[in-house]
Amino acid sequence: MTLILTRSDIAALLADAREDIERAVENCHLDLALGRAVLPAPPAMPLPGSDGTFLAMASASAPAGLATVKLLADLPGNRERGLPVQRSAVLAVSADTGACEALLDGAEVTRARTAAATAVATRALARKDARVLGLVGTGPLARAHARALLPGRAYERIVLWGRDAGRSHELAAWIRTELGVDAQVLAGPREVTEASDVLCTLTPSREPLIRGAWLSPGQHVNAVGAPPRPDHREIDTEGVVRCRIVVDAWTTARAKSGEVLIPLAEGALTEDDFRRELGDVLAGTEPGRTADTDLTLFNSVGVGLQDLAVARLLIDAATERGTGTRIELSG
């Protein structure tokens, strides 16, 4: 039988699983570094006559016993239709028998694993005395990041900015009420950057919102929001050059990250500057932060192995709780 998990099913299963999600995402990056998982670069398939792009994000994991493919549709034209720009679904099959174990809606999976990866990277790379968290962007990804990053860290306040002032103030009020941390809306990206010890950029920007001149020694930056397109980025070249760079997966970043591809095309950096992966830092085979004055950057493009890790968690939780719908997909 094949398990079908809808967006509402997944939201309910993930509601109280923050630590489990973070641990699963951390372990999948360790598995990749230690050769226990496979993660090819996803092919990008631009649709002729459209601005839409489709990506098949495949991965396989021996410890998880799964192989998965998430089909991601990136459709900017959906914005005018009032629909999500990115939509996705995850197909999971048994690594042992090839049987189709599950089909999952991708929205909540993607949001949860993206925020968890940021939390893992921040724990590995940020200064231990970081006290101010900055958010540039105020959509659902910003809320997911606030939920993922605040527990267990001694942040004294959050500073944030978004293009929509109303949504910015709503997010600040939600953080104060739901998470119990002081939150302030600042005038713009520069003000948020200059006030932050840890900065998360969470926008689908094409042009850089963060300038390297605004960064300070000791900061940690998570570049998260830009879509998987080589001409989109949130951090300018100077900012990337100033940082010790850690990517989620080199082959994926090399294929679809503007933060990587644009500095390479400009000759500002070489491929060797981008080869340090999060799993290598976690495994201790590559250095992360080496001094309190280091500027560190986690370039998060998002990888299929993270989807696999959360899918494994969800399949097990749904089986234990009797959640979801099961169908006879094949004999």
Burial class (CB in 10 A: 0-12, 13-18, 19+), 281: buried
Report which residue type is found at 54.
Answer: F
CA dist list (Å): 133 to 136, 161, 194: 10, 12, 11
pLDDT at 331: 59
Residue with tokens 């690594």: 95
Give the three-state DSSP class for 232: coil
Residue with tokens 């226990």: 36
Give the torsion sign (CA, 282, 245, 116, 156).
positive
pLDDT at 49: 87
CA dist list (Å): 320 to 113, 136, 315: 21, 38, 9
Residue with tokens 């899918």: 311
pLDDT tens figures, 288-308: 999 999 999 999 999 999 999
Instruction: Tell me the whole-structure pTM to 2 decimals.
Output: 0.95
Q: Are 282 and 29 in contact (CB under 8 A)?
A: yes
With a cut of 70, list the residues of the chain below it in pLDDT.
331
CA dist list (Å): 154 to 1, 173, 184, 289: 45, 19, 17, 19
Tell me the helix, strand and coil percentages in the chain, rounded to 5: 40, 25, 35
pLDDT at 254: 93
Give the three-state DSSP class for 174: helix
Residue with tokens 């950096």: 269
Q: Are 302 and 110 in contact (CB under 8 A)?
A: yes
Report which residue type is found at 107.
Answer: A
CA dist list (Å): 46 to 50, 55, 76: 8, 9, 12
pLDDT at 329: 84
**Closest residue by Cα to residue 85 from 265, 228, 219:** 228
**Closest residue by Cα to residue 122 from 208, 210, 200, 175:** 200
Please count the CA atoms within 13 angstroms of the CA of 48 that sit on its side-chain side.
0
Phi, psi of 299 (to 5 degrees): -90, 100
